Amino acid sequence: MKSAESLLDVIFANEENLLDQVQALLAAGANPNERTRYFETPLRVSSRNGRFDVVKCLYEAGADPTHLNWTPLFHAIAYGSLSEVKDRLAQGGNLHSRDTWERTPILVAVLTGDVQKVSLLIEFGADLTDLGRANTSALEYAIQMDDARMLSFLIGQGFDFETYNDFGYTALMQAAEDGAISCVCCLLEHGADIHKKDRSQFSQKPAIAHASTLETAEALAKAGSDLNQLEGDVRANLLGLGEQENLTTNRQDYLAQKHRVYGTSNPQRCNVPFWYDMVRTNGSAWMARSQFDDTDACSDQAVWCYERYGKSITALRNGEFVEIAGEHEDSYDPDFCIYNEVFHHKGGGDFVIYQYPKEVFPPTDFHSATLVDQYIYVIGNLGYLEERQPGITPVYRLDTKSFEMERLETTGECPGWIYKHSADLENQSVIRIQGGEIFAEVGGKVDHCFNSFDFELSLDTLQWTKRKHIPKSGKNTFFAEEYKRFSNSEGELLSTKANDKWRLIKVISVHRLDLAEGQKIQFANEVVTVLFDDFIFVVAYSTSEPFDSFEQLEKAAAENSWSLDIPCTVCRTINFPETGRFFEFAEIVEEERESFEAWKELFEIGQAKIL
């Protein structure tokens, strides 16, 4: 007899034949009231997943009804007829009752996919704008079930699919992440903005970057989304890679071929078997080292790797793809490396690697790659620190017939040393650069700053022109990019120094504020009226008592013997104190949490400021 744990396992898996699996396990003696320490039970999990056929089966098998806290109206909606729902409503069924997932009857009706039941509930006064747990909307429940018919109905009822949820996602982003292909296509048909970016803390990405399946990625790409935003397994699937799990290279060849080698001609067709093996596995350098028990990473050069960030991908018109360069890992990692190879993917996992001399095409990452006729224009680069040239924009041209790489000399007002930008071809003769960051010299110092202009490169004259920024979606933003990023996380305990005193500061919350056009926001010395819908992050942090030396602060942090001086300060990301050492992730105590909640209440009524 299978264990009761396996009942929860199959319910979590939520396969198409789930009902048959559950019935078989129950018949074999599985416990319908099994629960985890997080109070996950078969009834609760199947209900959360919208599998009401399984919910009914579990009830009939003796599942504890308190696990869902359903009224008779919920039962009628989940697996009863329309007339049964009407009868329950006529008997005074409560439209505002909540189940253990904090869903009202109309939200459960949305999950069933029955538009008639939803319409009936609306007729009786149900509120379609009800929210479930984590402020989940009816729109999100429809996407959870990949129910395009219900989604279209909700849009017809006035739901705005461009609004952001609590996680900073629009409906299209959620559908892409869920692999809800029917809903992705539905949203595209309704005109969902493919260029809109999420409102996450560390970096903002469009819907295609969230695509979890090849099918949803291809639908978004067909609608005009940038393939360069594709990540991980989905990108590998597009190229026919990643099905080979382990390297077939032997250890001797691995040791002889594991390092990066520049080409000696332009191009040089690569004949290193280990490199091809690494591409087929789509694995990391660490994976290769582990397979061959190569533990001497710290005194070794980087192991050549295909798994990279900042590697461009360009679709050719014959259905083939070209990937260019990219980097593996961050600079502190022993396998950090910025590469300059080009990959020609011919389809079905067939590909060729081209190598280049460093002086012909230097190590390049986070560039753009734009196809024009038979050429790919490679613009920008982050590159190694010692090779960056502020004020210069590197431009290369790859011939997709011969795979020869050529450096182009440009004139005019260029973006400078730009990277992580986007590039679009206009009228087959101009490449327009938008967004990204620029490594520039400011006030005698070099630093990274966000690009706030558009730059156009004429392919006829190779001359740059600086333009006012025009968003791809046509919708302006109000706040600078610096207000929308923050590199630290909640709970981080850090050191800071001001006025010859050392203090500990703890990040209490990184809080997103969604602001509507015309809304006023109170900063330290001014009240700002927001001219366009936008958002910012604010940082709440606590501050310790002062210390005379870093050694005193370090000892207090190690012994957890410090006390709060200021329980909560809220500032813009650009005004967060300059910090030094990271100590640990510390617990956010009640005084800190309550102080931040009090600030939020005062801020909402205009009585608290943001520094």
Residue 22: what residue type? V
- Write the class of the CATH domain 4-238: mainly alpha
Q: How confident is the model at residue 4 (pLDDT cuts 50, 70, 90)?
A: very low
The confidence score (pLDDT) of residue 290 equals 94
Q: Note whether 342 and 267 are within 8 A (CB).
A: yes
CA dist., res. 440 & res. 438, Å (int): 6
Residue ranges of E strands in 364-515: 368-372, 375-379, 395-399, 405-407, 411-412, 417-419, 422-426, 430-434, 437-442, 445-450, 453-458, 463-468, 492-498, 501-515
CA dist., res. 507 & res. 593, Å (int): 11
pLDDT digits (tens, 9 = 90+) for 406-445: 999 999 999 999 999 999 999 999 999 999 999 998 877 8
Extents of the domains making up the chain: 4-238, 251-468, 481-604
- How many CB atoms neighbour CB 276 within 10 A? 16
CA distance to 201, 408, 511, per residue, from 166 (Å) = 12, 46, 11
CA dist., res. 366 & res. 310, Å (int): 4
Q: Which residue has the tokens 């013997």?
A: 561
Q: How confident is the model at residue 474 (pLDDT cuts 50, 70, 90)?
A: confident
| Range 376-394 burial, b when 16+ CB lie within 10 A, else e | bbbbbbbbeeeebeeeebb
Answer yes or no: is pLDDT of 231 > 90.
no
- Per the prediction, the chain carries an average pLDDT of 95
Does the model's pTM come out above 0.95? Answer: no
Q: How confident is the model at residue 202 (pLDDT cuts 50, 70, 90)?
A: confident
Q: How confident is the model at residue 5 (pLDDT cuts 50, 70, 90)?
A: low
